[in-house]
Amino acid sequence: NAGVTQTPKFRVLKTGQSMTLLCAQDMNHEYMYWYRQDPGMGLRLIHYSVGEGTTAKGEVPDGYNVSRLKKQNFLLGLESAAPSQTSVYFCASNKGFGAFFGQGTRLTVV
């Protein structure tokens, strides 16, 4: 039982490049989330999903897209990366009893 796994753990992108972050959970949780955390700040919700095939916008969705084609996976895409998207990204899953978090992806856009 791995819990919540994020890949990759680190990535450096050039401005304008695209990439996809993968979040996988093996706990059969319905809810999955993507957050970003900037230095000294709290977690901010980007997008979330309440089940397979559904997604919804969070607090800071601009510049990101998501997909939940399979219940266990939640993908976060950056179509055209910008320096403002430099951050640490956390994925989480939840079945109504609080969230379990991945270890984070540190993304730098230069």
Q: Based on the shown chain and the rule CB under 8 A, indicate whether residue 86 belongs to the binding site for other proteins.
A: no
Q: Based on the shown chain and the rule CB under 8 A, indicate whether residue 58 belongs to the binding site for other proteins.
A: yes
Closer to other proteins at the Cβ: 17 or 88?
88
CA neighbor of 91 nearest in space, from 81, 79, 76, 107: 76
- Separation of alpha carbons 99 and 69, rounded Å: 20
Query: Judging by DSSP bridges, how do beta strands 54-57 and 65-67 pair with one another?
Result: unpaired
77 near 20, Cβ under 8 Å?
Answer: yes
Stretch that binds other proteins, among 16-24, 37-45, 63-71, 76-84 (CB under 8 A): 37-45
Binding residue (CB under 8 A) for other proteins from 59, 79, 83, 84: 59
Binding residue (CB under 8 A) for other proteins from 2, 14, 28, 42: 42
